Amino acid sequence: MVLKLATGEFKGMTLASTDTARELRPTQAMVREAIINTLSSIFMAEDLEFSGLQILDLFSGSGSMGFEFLSNGAQSICFVERDPKCQKLLRSNAKKMRAESKVKVCSGILPKILKSGNFSQESFNLVFFDPPFKFTVDQFLANVKAVLDNKLLQDNAFLVLEYKNDELAKALEEQFSEHLVLLKTKKYGGCTVVFARKIFSK
């Protein structure tokens, strides 16, 4: 499997990868580029930049999307991944990009690890969700709930959620309308990407 960054300073760089890491399903280059372009458009309207992003990347796998964020200047990223082979890939790619100081790799099972206190001193202004496609909507929502319940997001933080169809967007509106506002829902090939934002706490 060949993974190349699609955008930013390190566009064209080949990431270390493997076909043996469990359930490895990297976000396609076309989708990664589209996510970056959509966020760029949102940021431009609010005078925001990638350089201010502190990112939480859940179900990281190879970390292809996370490294796309780093290639565009993100301040830091915390990868959460339970597979040791994927963790090794994440550290290897961080070293290849000379971004070790910006990268943290956390080992644990989601959503349990989010409730463990490991993140008690941290908050993020963007969270990226890309679980295995076999995940149900209910499993996905349980992880969104854990992020919100454990106050891991700063006010007005962005959420980028990748799923196999549009069922997730509908469920998010039904269950989290008090906490999240959906900005955009876009379909790319075999997946749907939801862009949402945490509502400012009163």
pLDDT of residue 58: 95
Model confidence at 21: pLDDT above 50: no
pLDDT of residue 159: 96
Q: Which residue has the tokens 């490991």?
A: 118
Extents of the domains making up the chain: 3-20+27-198
CB atoms within 10 A of CB 186: 14
192 token code pair = 């749907």
Predicted TM-score of the model (pTM)? 0.91
Model confidence at 85: pLDDT above 80: yes
Chain center to CA of 56: 6
Q: Which of 16-20, 51-55, 62-66, 185-189 shows the lowest per-residue confidence on average (mean pLDDT)?
A: 16-20
pLDDT of residue 75: 96
Compute the Cα dihedral for 4, 5, 7, 12 and give only its sign.
Answer: negative
pLDDT band at 201 (very low <50, low <70, confident <90, very high): low
Model confidence at 22: pLDDT above 80: no
Does residue 46 or residue 120 have the better pLDDT?
46
| β-pair partners for 58 | 80, 129
What gap in Å lies between CA 170 and CA 47, rounded to an integer?
29
157-175 per-position pLDDT tens digit = 999 999 988 899 999 989 9
DSSP secondary structure code for residue 82 in this structure: -
Question: Is CATH 3.40.50.150 correct for 3-20+27-198?
Answer: yes
**How large a percentage of the chain has pLDDT more than 70?**
93
Burial 3-33 (b: 16+ CB within 10 A, else e): bebbbbebeeeebebeeebeebbbbbeebbb
pLDDT of residue 20: 47
93-132 per-position pLDDT tens digit = 999 999 999 999 999 889 989 887 677 678 899 999 988 8
CB 159 within 8 A of CB 184: no
